[in-house]
Structures are given as structure tokens and as C-alpha cells.
Amino acid sequence: MSGSHLNSERRGPVTVVHMGEEYDALAEVDLAETETELLHLADTIDPPHLVLDFAATRYFSSAFLELLFRVSNRLNRRRGRFAICNLRGHCREVFTTARLDKFWGVYSGIDEAINSLGPRDERTGENP
């Protein structure tokens, strides 16, 4: 993964990060650059709405799950939202077993994840 950068795109008010094939196994030894980039996005994207697409990811470590919590917390502090999509195999099993799908929206596709982050009432934080 050395030297790689996250592949992101804007889709309306949402930034989508595609964890490409170079991110197929997100182990602790590979996280430094990914951590820096994801935390930077969580601190700077405007509006602070982020979808992570794991279509090409087959494994991630507990350290990566900790990073997801940090990203989510930073977005929450900015009144942002966070969703995950295209989990498969081991990754989906980890999310289900650990009940992480209760913390974040987990969706089968990018469009569904983006739609879940639709407009919210500024006062209540709820979808209208």
C-alpha cells in the first residue's frame, strides 16, 4: 500500500471513498497512510458526509475498526454523517458479529448508502 492514496469522489453533498484493490487487506502494518488520509477527510470535507465503499476489501484488522470509530467521531463532532457499503465475506461477518451495523449504516450499494445520508433537519438531526 505504500505510496497509494485513497480514491475519492464527490456525489452531491457526500464524499465517497472507494477502498480499491490496494486496500484488499487492511492490516495494522498498512494503516499509517490510510489513517492519515481518512482522518484528514473527516476533518476537512464539506459537508462532512462520508461513505466508505469496501467492494474490493476482503479483510481488515481490529486496528482498522478502531480507525473507523475515530473517523465517525470526527464526523459526528462536525455534525456529519457516515455510512459503509459493499461489505463482503469476512468483513460483513465481522460487522454483523460485532454488531457494528448498529453504530453505522451498512448498505449493499453506494447509491443506497448515499441516499441514507440525505438531508436532515438542522435542529433535530433527523431525516425530514
| Alpha-helical regions (H) of the chain | 31-44, 62-77, 89-97, 110-116
Q: List Cα–Cα distances, 13 to 35, 84, 117, in angstroms.
A: 23, 16, 9
Could you read off the pLDDT of 108-118 as tens digits, one per residue? 999 999 999 97
* CB < 8 Å & 24+ apart, contacts of 30-34: 30/1, 31/61, 31/63, 31/64, 31/67, 33/1, 33/2, 33/4, 34/1, 34/6, 34/64, 34/67
- 86-112: average pLDDT: 92
Q: CA 32, CA 12: separation in Å to the nearest integer?
A: 29
3-state helix, strand, coil in the chain (%, to 5): 45, 20, 35
Could you read off the pLDDT of 38-71 as tens digits, one per residue? 999 999 999 999 999 999 888 887 888 899 999 9
Between 31 and 88, whose confidence is greater? 88
Percent pLDDT > 90 in the chain is 57
pLDDT recorded at residue 33: 84
Give 1's pLDDT tier (boundaries 50, 70, 90).
very low
- In this structure, of 14-18, 111-115, 121-125, the range with the lowest mean pLDDT score is 121-125
Could you read off the pLDDT of 69-87 as tens digits, one per residue? 999 999 999 999 999 999 9
Domains delineated in the chain? 7-112 (3.30.750.24)
